[in-house]
């Protein structure tokens, strides 16, 4: 979900916000709440609304809040957008004991890997691969295993890499 905007009672809104914020995919989605008055403001912020507009709503106020929400939605979209790639990669629990694998997609926060053989990875994984370029760059990083599929695919959320590696990965 990219965003959520609706009018409902305070109790219904609190229930919806709780469900949004506890879901793994939507917990960071921008939410705009339109409130009857300032008395609800603190309570609704505590439930997870990012942007709040109090009635009566003016076009200037709602436009400003929607522009801020759009910025947040674009950041959230970049976080999950994945680029399909096919690159050799080495992955394993220890930096000195890596197994050949295939990098199949990348995002701003992590990557998906297809393992060449059965490998049980949990927790932190070490990674090594070359970023393609006119001058290839050897990436060495660590990440947390975020998910695993039975067909030998794993998702890794990048967590530790040098500043230079992070800069080049972001390019």
pLDDT digits (tens, 9 = 90+) for 117-142: 777 777 888 999 988 888 888 989 99
The per-residue pLDDT for 19 is: 81
C-alpha atoms less than 13 angstroms from C-alpha of 70 in its C-beta half-sphere: 6
Handedness of CA 105, 106, 109, 113 (dihedral sign): positive
Strands 97-106 and 110-115: antiparallel
The per-residue pLDDT for 149 is: 80
With contact defined as beta carbons under 8 Å apart, do 70 and 50 qualify? no
**CA angle 89–112–78, rounded 5-degree value:** 120
Percent of the residues in the chain that have a pLDDT greater than 70, as a whole number? 82
Which of 85-89, 105-109, 147-151, 161-165 has maximum average pLDDT?
85-89
């Amino acid at each position: 979900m990219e965003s959520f905007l609706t009018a409902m009672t305070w109790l219904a809104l609190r229930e919806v916000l709780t469900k949004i914020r506890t879901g793994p995919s939507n917990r960071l989605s921008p939410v705009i709440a339109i409130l009857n008055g300032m008395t609800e403001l603190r309570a609704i912020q505590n439930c997870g609304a990012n942007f709040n507009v109090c009635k009566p709503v003016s076009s200037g106020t709602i436009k400003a809040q929607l522009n801020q929400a759009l910025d947040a939605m674009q950041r959230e979209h970049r976080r999950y957008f994945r680029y399909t790639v096919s690159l050799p990669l080495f992955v394993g629990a220890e930096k000195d004991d890596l197994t050949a694998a295939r990098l199949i997609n990348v995002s701003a926060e992590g990557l998906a890997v297809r393992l060449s053989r059965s490998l049980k990875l949990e927790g932190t994984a070490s990674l090594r691969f070359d970023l393609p370029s006119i001058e290839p760059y050897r990436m060495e990083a660590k990440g947390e295993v975020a998910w695993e599929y039975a067909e030998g695919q794993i998702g890794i959320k990048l967590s530790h890499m040098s500043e230079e590696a992070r800069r080049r990965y972001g390019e």
